[in-house]
């Protein structure tokens, strides 16, 4: 099952390209599901089908075209449903604390609820199966990077706050609950933590799958190459790769109108920069797909067909490979240089935005606004960091064996 996350800069046409990708796949015979959290009219207009505005449970797909189903993710309804369920499960804790639960009318969506709802919808779609391709109309690029990082981060927080070794005493809790006459709050807490650990692990598995790729939509302009560079670095930090860069709304060249000719000229210059930036990668870079400006907003599937070569949006047209099974490798240079080198591909990263901190058996890597905590491979845990350098889009971190920890040869 292939998954394509469509993101990009604000206003560049992410939702339109996501719908066009899904339509192209469906017309090619793929059983396709489109997921969107866009609450505006764009998905309905592009697909030519009305998506339900609200739901009381998981998003229910509707048939939008032959071979294509689409669903709108209702983050608010999902948040209120989970909050009410949590209150019902924790009623004994509310009684112990003397607290009054919230009424249904008081519950309103909190920041971050949409990200969690999107991940839940993706997890549910994979669990249901039956799809050849799932296309996700994702939020803007910076938010998508944080979205992809969320499962791993939340799992880390859960392990820190509720360490598994402390669950050894869980067998005593039912007996204690009988003694005091009410369920022990800690028991419920660990039950919820275990449930969320399983759910987050499943979502992280989808994100880390080699069949999951990210598609970046940009409108060629003065800052398009910079946006591509920042997005690539943030996605690479999460071990994900952009499978295609979609240059959207390209104006026709050769216009006799001086105004349009000047606009087109600037677009073509920006497009050249996009091509150069997209191909800067030791792994071969990302393909660039060019879509024309129709002179009007997309008004349905027929307009999507006029984009000219929508087959170029098919996943196999731009490469089906997502993240490598092990994108970061350790290079053994002990014999020549006395060091081990951890290779971290970070295309788009720049030295001024990089920061490294060793913390115990972890390496904290920051790339501009993004950060990830990486557990060190076992061999590197017995080493100290002796230097690092960024060259050709690859961060090389050098480790020197610690004589007190490194195995001795006899």
How does residue 135 score in pLDDT terms, banded at 50, 70 and 90? very high
Q: What is the rounded average pLDDT of the residues 36-63?
A: 78
Q: What is the rounded average pLDDT of the residues 28-51?
A: 87
pLDDT digits (tens, 9 = 90+) for 366-389: 998 899 999 999 999 999 999 999
**Cβ count near 349 (within 10 Å):** 25
**Between these two residues, 275 and 54, which has the higher pLDDT value?**
275
Nearest to 220 by CA among 246, 241, 243: 246
pTM: 0.84
Which pLDDT score, from 0 to 100, does residue 178 have? 52
Judging by beta carbons within 10 Å of its beta carbon (0-12, 13-18, 19+), is residue 39 exposed, middle or buried? middle
Q: In whole angstroms, give the CA distance from residue 368 to residue 112.
A: 21
pLDDT digits (tens, 9 = 90+) for 228-264: 999 999 999 998 888 889 999 999 998 899 999 999 9
**Between these two residues, 172 and 136, which has the higher pLDDT value?**
136
Is the predicted pLDDT of residue 104 greater than 70, yes or no? no
Average per-residue pLDDT for the chain: 81
Task: Give SS3 for 108.
Answer: coil
Q: Angle CA(95)–CA(98)–CA(101) in degrees, nearest 5? A: 70
Identify whether the C-beta of residue 234 lies closer than 8 Å to the C-beta of residue 27.
no
Task: Report the relative pairing of strands 2-8 and 133-137 from DSSP bridges.
Answer: parallel
Is the predicted pLDDT of residue 163 greater than 90, yes or no? no
DSSP letters spanning 147-174: HHHHHHHHHHHHHHHS-GGGGGGGGGHH
Q: Which one of 212-221, 237-246, 399-408 scores highest in mean pLDDT?
A: 212-221
Which pLDDT score, from 0 to 100, does residue 317 have? 46
How does residue 324 score in pLDDT terms, banded at 50, 70 and 90? very low
Is the predicted pLDDT of residue 116 greater than 80, yes or no? yes
Helices 185-208, 113-128: inter-axial angle, 10-degree rounding: 70
In sequence order, the 6+-apart residues with CB closer than 8 A to the CB of 371 are 237, 364, 365
Nearest to 346 by CA among 390, 284, 377: 390
Is the predicted pLDDT of residue 1 greater than 80, yes or no? yes
Where do the domains of the chain lie, and which CATH numbers do they carry? 2-317 (3.40.50.300), 329-401 (2.60.40.790)
How does residue 89 score in pLDDT terms, banded at 50, 70 and 90? low
Which pLDDT score, from 0 to 100, does residue 321 have? 41
DSSP letters spanning 52-90: PS--SSSPPPEEEETTEEEEE--HHHHHHHHHHHHHHHT
Task: Give SS3 for 222.
Answer: coil
Chain centre distance of CA 259: 39
3-state secondary structure 253-288: CCCCCHHHHHHHHHHHHHHHHHHHHHCCCCCCCCEE
**Cβ count near 103 (within 10 Å):** 9
Which pLDDT score, from 0 to 100, does residue 325 have? 44
- Label residues 213-236 b or e (16+ Cβ within 10 Å = b): bbbbbbbbbeebbebbbbbbbbbb
């Amino acid at each position: 099952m292939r998954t394509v996350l469509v993101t990009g800069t604000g206003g560049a046409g992410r939702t339109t390209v996501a719908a066009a990708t899904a339509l192209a796949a469906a017309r090619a015979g793929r059983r396709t599901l489109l997921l969107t959290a866009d609450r505006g009219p764009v998905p309905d207009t592009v697909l030519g089908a009305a998506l339900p505005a609200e739901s009381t449970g998981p998003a229910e797909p509707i048939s939008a075209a032959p071979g294509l189903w689409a669903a709108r993710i209702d983050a608010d309804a999902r948040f209120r449903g989970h909050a009410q369920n949590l209150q019902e499960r924790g009623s004994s804790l509310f009684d112990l604390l003397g607290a009054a639960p919230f009424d249904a009318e008081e519950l309103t969506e909190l920041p971050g609820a949409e990200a969690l709802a999107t991940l839940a919808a993706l997890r549910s779609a994979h669990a249901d199966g039956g799809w050849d391709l799932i296309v996700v109309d994702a939020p803007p690029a910076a938010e998508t990077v944080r979205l992809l990082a969320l499962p791993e981060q939340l799992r880390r927080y859960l392990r820190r706050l509720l360490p598994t070794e402390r669950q050894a005493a869980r067998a005593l809790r039912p007996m204690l609950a009988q003694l005091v006459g009410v369920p022990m709050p800690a028991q419920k807490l660990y039950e919820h933590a275990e449930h969320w650990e399983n759910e987050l692990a499943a979502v992280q598995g989808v994100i880390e799958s080699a069949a999951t790729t990210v598609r970046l939509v940009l409108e060629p302009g003065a800052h398009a190459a910079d946006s591509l560079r920042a997005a690539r670095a943030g996605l690479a930090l999460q071990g994900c790769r952009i499978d295609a860069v979609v240059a959207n709304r390209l104006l026709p060249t050769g216009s006799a109108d001086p105004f349009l000719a000047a606009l087109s000229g600037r677009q073509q210059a920006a497009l050249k920069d996009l091509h150069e930036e997209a191909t800067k990668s030791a792994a071969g870079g990302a393909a660039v797909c060019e879509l024309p400006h129709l002179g009007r907003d997309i008004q349905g599937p027929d307009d999507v067909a006029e984009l000219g070569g929508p087959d170029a949006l098919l996943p196999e047209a731009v490469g089906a490979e997502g993240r490598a099974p092990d994108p970061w490798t350790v290079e053994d240079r002990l014999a020549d240089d006395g060091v081990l080198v951890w290779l971290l591909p970070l295309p788009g990263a720049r030295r001024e935005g990089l920061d490294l901190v060793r913390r115990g058996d972890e390496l904290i890597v920051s790339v501009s606004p993004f950060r990830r905590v990486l557990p060190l491979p076992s061999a590197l845990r017995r080493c100290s960091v002796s230097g690092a350098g960024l060259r050709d889009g690859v961060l090389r971190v050098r480790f020197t064996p610690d004589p007190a920890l490194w195995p001795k040869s006899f």
